[in-house]
Amino acid sequence: MTAALYDRFRRVRAETLALAAPLSEEDCCVQSMTDASPVKWHLAHTSWFFETFILERFERPFHAFQPAFRMLFNSYYNGVGDKHPRPQRGMITRPGLAEVLAYRRNVDERMAMVIGEGAASSGLGELVELGLQHEQQHQELVLTDLKHLLSMNPLKPAYAQRGAVHATLAPEHRWIGFDGGVVHIGHAGDGFCFDNELPRHRQFVEPYALSSRLVTNAEYLAFIEDGGYRNPAVWLAEGWDWVRNGGNGESGGSGAIEAPLYWHRAESGWQEFTLHGMQALEPDRPATHLSFYEADAFARWAGARLPTEAEWEHAAASCPGDIDPCGIAQLFGVSWQWTSSSYSPYPGFTAPRGAIGEYNGKFMCNQYVLRGSSIATPAGHTRISYRNFFPAYARWQFSGIRLARSAWKA
Amino acid sequence: MTAALYDRFRRVRAETLALAAPLSEEDCCVQSMTDASPVKWHLAHTSWFFETFILERFERPFHAFQPAFRMLFNSYYNGVGDKHPRPQRGMITRPGLAEVLAYRRNVDERMAMVIGEGAASSGLGELVELGLQHEQQHQELVLTDLKHLLSMNPLKPAYAQRGAVHATLAPEHRWIGFDGGVVHIGHAGDGFCFDNELPRHRQFVEPYALSSRLVTNAEYLAFIEDGGYRNPAVWLAEGWDWVRNGGNGESGGSGAIEAPLYWHRAESGWQEFTLHGMQALEPDRPATHLSFYEADAFARWAGARLPTEAEWEHAAASCPGDIDPCGIAQLFGVSWQWTSSSYSPYPGFTAPRGAIGEYNGKFMCNQYVLRGSSIATPAGHTRISYRNFFPAYARWQFSGIRLARSAWKA
Amino acid sequence: MTAALYDRFRRVRAETLALAAPLSEEDCCVQSMTDASPVKWHLAHTSWFFETFILERFERPFHAFQPAFRMLFNSYYNGVGDKHPRPQRGMITRPGLAEVLAYRRNVDERMAMVIGEGAASSGLGELVELGLQHEQQHQELVLTDLKHLLSMNPLKPAYAQRGAVHATLAPEHRWIGFDGGVVHIGHAGDGFCFDNELPRHRQFVEPYALSSRLVTNAEYLAFIEDGGYRNPAVWLAEGWDWVRNGGNGESGGSGAIEAPLYWHRAESGWQEFTLHGMQALEPDRPATHLSFYEADAFARWAGARLPTEAEWEHAAASCPGDIDPCGIAQLFGVSWQWTSSSYSPYPGFTAPRGAIGEYNGKFMCNQYVLRGSSIATPAGHTRISYRNFFPAYARWQFSGIRLARSAWKA
Amino acid sequence: MTAALYDRFRRVRAETLALAAPLSEEDCCVQSMTDASPVKWHLAHTSWFFETFILERFERPFHAFQPAFRMLFNSYYNGVGDKHPRPQRGMITRPGLAEVLAYRRNVDERMAMVIGEGAASSGLGELVELGLQHEQQHQELVLTDLKHLLSMNPLKPAYAQRGAVHATLAPEHRWIGFDGGVVHIGHAGDGFCFDNELPRHRQFVEPYALSSRLVTNAEYLAFIEDGGYRNPAVWLAEGWDWVRNGGNGESGGSGAIEAPLYWHRAESGWQEFTLHGMQALEPDRPATHLSFYEADAFARWAGARLPTEAEWEHAAASCPGDIDPCGIAQLFGVSWQWTSSSYSPYPGFTAPRGAIGEYNGKFMCNQYVLRGSSIATPAGHTRISYRNFFPAYARWQFSGIRLARSAWKA
């Protein structure tokens, strides 16, 4: 098990580096908004996580790579002590990228020692797994934060060249019905899960139906062309304020919101900024980079609604292999799917003791749950019970829409 | 039924006037913050509600008292057309209070005609009842908004003289257990309810316990004295930011939040601003004017949590007569009780068509549900299924804490 | 002299009441923006000035009308102690207007006693005169602050009915030349002046010319129609930002600035909000309610510039009787005239000792001087050496434009 | 002359590169606040200046290095067209530093061609000289902006190692008197000057005295220890607000201002962040990194005042060789010296036609003039008539205090 654990450790850590490989020192250093972090910070913070929560406890004697990093790369753990303010993560030009990469290598070597010795250590395996899952979360953020940074550049540079692209056809749209009743929700089995997926518990779900696929760009464009962004009747009151205020200054602009985050209306037609640069909008691709407000407004305009997270999870659990035997496509690997559920603790939830208990619980307020996973989610980092969460205004993540309907009143 | 309806109309309308009777024109005109409205605005808006939603439809011919009022006293109904901006409600020195009172009388007279003729009219009775329930909601706001206004005055004036006060003793504290299971939630029966209380539906509730009474001032003071406002470990992350930022500039202050809204630490001890002026803090009274953040932090500090709204309603429904046979005191008439439930539509919820559909549904985002009722709630305006809601930072309402515990894991 | 002083005291105080006479309690209570104050506050603060700076010193024994007023109606004198925050002056619904009027009467009676006894008192006469000049300044503010408040009301109510209006013809426009050289600037003689008009001193002025009259509405309209508000080339950089940002949220609006403060483009043509309500724009009247930025931009567009305050004062001093023998019309009684001079101390300026020294000196930063007087300035409150001052963005005062040109290079 | 011009061009351009030589790509990319710019941006913008204002006109045919740079590196010239928003200069991770250095080399080569051919070209020499003076201004900004960036890093890194330091002794302090009268102000002679130094003109100056040297750290510390930052009586009203509001959020902090920008009170005593890292405060060095508000408050506390710019220039002009025969030390090369003069046009000032006319004139509002030069000013970039200017709150420049006194009333 030690060898398997170390092998997994090595592979996950290498994947983070691979994501940063095409980037310059400058690309890695800059913070484009408070919600996003520099790539270099992600590289350092994920190492900090292993050093702080594992090496401090298991390495004998413990030698900090650089004691100042304990504060510098602490994200939000009050239990660890002081932390560098989040809006100033981009000020850290030193340590430079080279030193942060040396920090990574140092932590990797020390972790190799600890994992090698650690078969008998109480709790080591669980903590390493948590650190790796944490690192995978940041792998996705590396891509979404970098995409936002590049989008702020008027030259609209590309992160990567695009390979051969095959025309995408949207799967057929159908409503898939579910009977509901008392269902079991939350992580089952022995595998890893985050604390917020527990405890497994029962919920009562009324009969409902889910859309067989995600909303496409063409469908979202119809909403725009029907005046969706100018019609308060389809928006939550808070969403309408967000539209009129231009997303509270998102991107420094002052006008009203008129389209998804990265859409741009050119003379030649709609374009979309992607990790490959500006591209003509592809009508059959799932619409993405939408806020909760936009997802909710689209659903209302379409005569539908967003699913609850229990509805989503129950449906996903009915699909063996996650691949669609029940007819539900695009559950994973395309776009995160906004649910109508505010992020809150499951009945009986208790956060772990100590700083690690700050991982999830303290964010359970005024955020909405997204389910599934996205094109940027690392392979193997998906679960039916996975609960992603962001504030209602956030749209720099790969976030899209799956529609739902209540069936029980029909 | 017409006579009974009119009689009720007359009595509810008179009650609003009675609340404003002790106030000067100046007291009635000023707006103390964006969230609050002037008393004069409440007097006018509640009349506007009857004129716009009932007289426009049922009066033949319709004669607006003053056509400009349609825009001036529209609160938030986009379906009615333009509206005066909420932060500028206090700019309306004209019409003066006398003219607004004349508007009320005019609407009352026209409503008397319409109600008198209206036995056969389709939907009239339901709309009148909605207008009266709406008026009762604003009666509570008259008191809470006025209290906030008076608190901004360094002279700390009183709204009313205090009658003889008998020493209050807090009821005994006990945990009352409930088995849970599949329970029915939402309004039942033929009586009035708001659309957000429907449809009645099933939820699964795990076993739980509720506190037999509300948290007292003495208990909340123990939280303060234990450093509650200085310990991030008991706060939601967003709540901790709120504390450090002084409630986002609440009352113009810049320091951190250190106590409930109206508490003041004098040399002689803690005082509390009330509608009777400044008073020595009474230890056995329920703590009130707390934000959701404070309620949640206190609960965590106390080793408990806030109840969900289903838990609260199921418990209340188990108490015949609302008065405590099952041992739960202070459900109604003391302080609204924060729940951990984000305000969201019940499964199958549909808003009514037209502007009236904006009453509740569009606010179902980033707000938390409060249950019960308060000392300021009009008699007869309480229901077990009633869903009050405010943003997590709001604390100018009479909002307190009832603790809950999960019992099922024990 | 005592009788004459008291007679003057009585008349100035009565004039303030006359200005407030047409107003309701509500009109007098509300504060429409931080820069403006409620009329009731002006009524109280001017009385506070006499009570604090004269009665505290000369009344034996001193009996404060209400000790709390010392803090409540202190405007900005740190030397007097605490003060109620300026943005919250509108929160003071109590004391009501009646009590403030009683405060005025009480102060008037006590002042009558002190003036009657005070012939021999050292400095009494000077302080009374300062208090009356102070009161006259607030008389102008009563009108400008009230005008702003009424303009915030969508019903656009009038302060006063308009009497018979005779068509106004703009005086002929000519350039009046001055040789300059070493000129004397600052107050001369024994009459009253504010400390900021002293000491009289010398300045060197190059040859220049002033416009014979103020810029008219018709001329300003030509600037607008020529795209003046859309052409950055005629604006100061800070002024251009002010235009694009909509005056930093002035009036709650979000669009760019497009016209003077109270102008409104109706379908029937341009209108202007006045103390008599909305009126069709009169082309020959002097343009008013302009910011320094607008005055400067108009001047640049017109191929001219604003005068310095020395140029303005030197020209005014060349006009015996202030009435135009040298050909300069509209120096006084129409609109204050922006100068290009930043408000700064004259060489040798020293503020008086004590709190009264805060009257002028501490505001000599980032404000621009206006000269002349306006339609709202009380009779007798004008001087050639008078220095009014406001921040560059301010335009709720009656502020207009007199153009200047440098002649020496021709 | 061509050879001399090209030689000077080459040397000034090389000096900019030398300043950036010790920096990493990351150091050069980040923007630490809106007022500051990234070093890479300075490197590019100074090249843009030559390409836009010289090569576009004189190169035949003109080949832009990269057409998008015309917008990307435009600082504020509306006459040139669109510009990248100032607050987002730090978002430009691409072009990277290497490409910007290539841009510099390309511009240098094309400038060499144009200068070589350009003997006969009308106006070429003047524009090249303007471009070099512009580049020298940015050389100083490279150091001040970088210092601010490094100060935001909690590790407090150094820009450069410190050489041997000899103890500094403050020059003796004396008051040097001047008679004043009609003096000539503004640039004289044929050498280069900026448009804002013209035309040379007359001003009348009353008798005054200047301090023989700048205020020292020890003297400024005495002000702090005497409660200077807690005593409103010595501050301008706007300055006192600035102190209480913590410099409007400078550095993200929330407390009141308590010391110069880079001072830090450690347990071991006062320290100062410098380009060599944190250093113990040296009592005899001139105090620097002070805002206009602080300079003005210190002067008032010391019973003196700031000089006007005419007083400063007249005194400096009385010192042959700038080196102190009249007894005035530290005029140049130490710290810029705040004057009490608001930045405004000299009588007869006219900005050049076209975009280049935006260089100075449009900033003449709400800024204060500083005279002299600082330790960061390039050699040869000083003049007696030089007018530097910054807003009253700015203190990231090397800005200090020279005191003045009015002598004429004594």
CB–CB of D238 and C366 under 8 A?
yes
pLDDT for residue A336 is more than 80: yes
CB–CB of B26 and C97 under 8 A?
yes
**Average pLDDT, integer, range C285-306:** 98
Residue B260 pLDDT = 98
| Phi, psi at B340, each rounded to 5° | -85, 5
**Can the peptide bond before residue D283 be classed as cis, meaning omega within 30 degrees of 0?**
no
* Beta strands B201-205; A277-280: pairing state: unpaired
Report how far Cα B387 is from the mean position of its chain's Cα atoms. Answer: 9
The set of residues, in sequence order, having a beta carbon less than 8 Å from that of C164 and lying 6+ positions away, is none
Q: Give how far D15 is from chain A: nearest CA, Å.
A: 23
User: In this structure, what token pair is assigned to residue D354?
Assistant: 């076209």
* Beta strands C208-211; C404-406: pairing state: antiparallel
Residue A111 pLDDT = 97
DSSP A54: I
The predicted-structure confidence for D24-54, as pLDDT tens digits, reads as follows 999 999 999 999 999 999 999 999 999 999 9
**Average pLDDT, integer, range C206-215:** 96
User: In this structure, what token pair is assigned to residue C216?
Assistant: 């008219």
Residue C117 pLDDT = 86
pLDDT for residue D349 is more than 70: yes
Q: What percent of chain C has pLDDT over 90?
A: 88
User: For B343-365, b where at least 16 C-beta lie within 10 A, e where not — what string?
Assistant: bbbbbbbebeeebbbbbbbbbbb
- In residues, how long is chain D? 410
CB atoms within 10 A of CB C391: 17
Burial class (CB in 10 A: 0-12, 13-18, 19+), D267: exposed
List the beta bridge partners of residue B277: B274
Q: Tell me the pLDDT of chain A averaged across its residues.
A: 94
Residue D248 pLDDT = 76
CB–CB of A340 and B345 under 8 A?
yes
Does residue C27 belong to the interface with chain B, where contact is any CB pair within 8 Å?
A: yes
**Average pLDDT, integer, range A227-247:** 96
On chain D, the residues whose CB falls within 8 A of the CB of A26 are 25-26, 28-29, 40, 93-94, 96-97
The predicted-structure confidence for A337-361, as pLDDT tens digits, reads as follows 999 999 999 999 998 988 999 999 9
CB–CB of B94 and C252 under 8 A?
no
Which residue type is seen at A284? D
The helix, strand and coil proportions of chain A, stated in percent and rounded to the nearest 5, come to 40, 15, 45
Residue C221 pLDDT = 98
Cβ distance A124 to A36 under 8 Å? no
On chain B, the residues whose CB falls within 8 A of the CB of A240 are 78, 362
CB atoms within 10 A of CB A116: 12
The predicted-structure confidence for D240-252, as pLDDT tens digits, reads as follows 999 999 997 775 5
The predicted-structure confidence for A369-395, as pLDDT tens digits, reads as follows 999 999 999 999 999 999 999 999 999
Residue C344 pLDDT = 97
Cβ distance C74 to C82 under 8 Å? yes
The set of residues, in sequence order, having a beta carbon less than 8 Å from that of B163 and lying 6+ positions away, is none
User: In this structure, what token pair is assigned to residue D292?
Assistant: 């206009």
List the beta bridge partners of residue B181: B205
Binding partners of C (≥3 Cβ pairs within 8 A) = B, D
Rg (CA), chain B: 22
| Phi, psi at D58, each rounded to 5° | -110, -20
CB atoms within 10 A of CB C76: 15
Cβ distance B29 to B93 under 8 Å? yes
Helix (H, G, I), strand (E, B) or coil at C230: helix
Q: How far apart are the C-alpha atoms of D211 and C356, rounded to whole Å?
A: 30
CB–CB of B203 and A202 under 8 A?
no
Alpha-carbon distance values, C94 to A254, B150, C69, C91 (Å)? 40, 9, 11, 8
On chain C, the residues whose CB falls within 8 A of the CB of B155 are 68, 72, 94-95
Q: Give how far B94 is from chain C: nearest CA, Å.
A: 8
Helix (H, G, I), strand (E, B) or coil at B408: coil
Residue B162 pLDDT = 79
Residue B410 pLDDT = 37
**Can the peptide bond before residue B61 be classed as cis, meaning omega within 30 degrees of 0?**
yes
- A153: nearest CB among D25, D30, D91: D91
Q: How far apart are the C-alpha atoms of C378 and C215, rounded to whole Å?
A: 23
Angle at A329 between CA A328 and CA A332, to 5 degrees: 115
Binding partners of A (≥3 Cβ pairs within 8 A) = B, D
Which residue type is seen at C68? A
CB atoms within 10 A of CB D250: 16
Helix (H, G, I), strand (E, B) or coil at D370: strand
The predicted-structure confidence for B19-74, as pLDDT tens digits, reads as follows 999 999 999 999 999 999 999 999 999 999 999 999 999 999 999 999 999 999 99
Local confidence band at C372 (pLDDT 50, 70, 90 cut-offs)? very high
Q: How far apart are the C-alpha atoms of C375 and C397, rounded to whole Å?
A: 10
**Average pLDDT, integer, range B380-393:** 97
**Average pLDDT, integer, range C176-186:** 96
Dihedral through CA B218, CA B221, CA B223, CA B224, nearest 10? 180
Q: What percent of chain B has pLDDT over 70?
A: 94
- Lowest mean pLDDT across A110-119, D149-158, D225-234, D344-353: A110-119
Does residue D254 belong to the interface with chain A, where contact is any CB pair within 8 Å?
A: no
CB–CB of B26 and C27 under 8 A?
no
The predicted-structure confidence for C75-113, as pLDDT tens digits, reads as follows 999 999 999 999 999 999 999 999 999 999 999 999 999
Q: Give how far A331 is from chain D: nearest CA, Å.
A: 34
pLDDT for residue D410 is more than 50: no
CB atoms within 10 A of CB C190: 6
Angle at B168 between CA B164 and CA B172, to 5 degrees: 160
pLDDT for residue D76 is more than 80: yes
DSSP C379: T
User: In this structure, what token pair is assigned to residue D54?
Assistant: 């010289």
User: In this structure, what token pair is assigned to residue A131?
Assistant: 């650190």
CB atoms within 10 A of CB C366: 21
**Average pLDDT, integer, range B364-376:** 97
pTM: 0.96
Cβ distance C55 to C115 under 8 Å? no
Does residue A24 belong to the interface with chain D, where contact is any CB pair within 8 Å?
A: yes
CB–CB of B78 and A201 under 8 A?
no
**Average pLDDT, integer, range B237-242:** 97
Residue C48 pLDDT = 98
Report how far Cα A320 is from the mean position of its chain's Cα atoms. Answer: 24
Q: Tell me the pLDDT of chain B averaged across its residues.
A: 94
The set of residues, in sequence order, having a beta carbon less than 8 Å from that of A358 and lying 6+ positions away, is A76, A77, A78, A79, A351
pLDDT for residue C118 is more than 70: yes
Residue A121 pLDDT = 65
Does residue A264 belong to the interface with chain B, where contact is any CB pair within 8 Å?
A: no
Residue A410 pLDDT = 37
Rg (CA), chain A: 22
CB contacts < 8 A, B to C, total 91
Q: Tell me the pLDDT of chain D averaged across its residues.
A: 94
Domains parsed from chain A with CATH numbers: 2-151 (1.20.120), 175-409 (3.90.1580.10)
pLDDT for residue A251 is more than 60: no
User: In this structure, what token pair is assigned to residue A70?
Assistant: 């304990």
**Average pLDDT, integer, range B203-213:** 96
pLDDT for residue C194 is more than 60: yes
Q: How far apart are the C-alpha atoms of C21 and C27, rounded to whole Å?
A: 11
Q: How far apart are the C-alpha atoms of B315 and B185, rounded to whole Å?
A: 11
pLDDT for residue A54 is more than 90: yes
pLDDT for residue D172 is more than 90: no
Residue D324 pLDDT = 55
Cβ distance B143 to B19 under 8 Å? yes
Rg (CA), chain D: 22
List the beta bridge partners of residue A404: A210, A305
pLDDT for residue A322 is more than 70: no
CB atoms within 10 A of CB A18: 9
DSSP A287: P
The helix, strand and coil proportions of chain D, stated in percent and rounded to the nearest 5, come to 40, 15, 45
Dihedral through CA A387, CA A390, CA A391, CA A396, nearest 10? -150
- In residues, how long is chain B? 410
Q: How far apart are the first and last CA of chain C?
A: 54
Q: How far apart are the C-alpha atoms of D293 and D49, rounded to whole Å?
A: 33
Which residue type is seen at B179? D
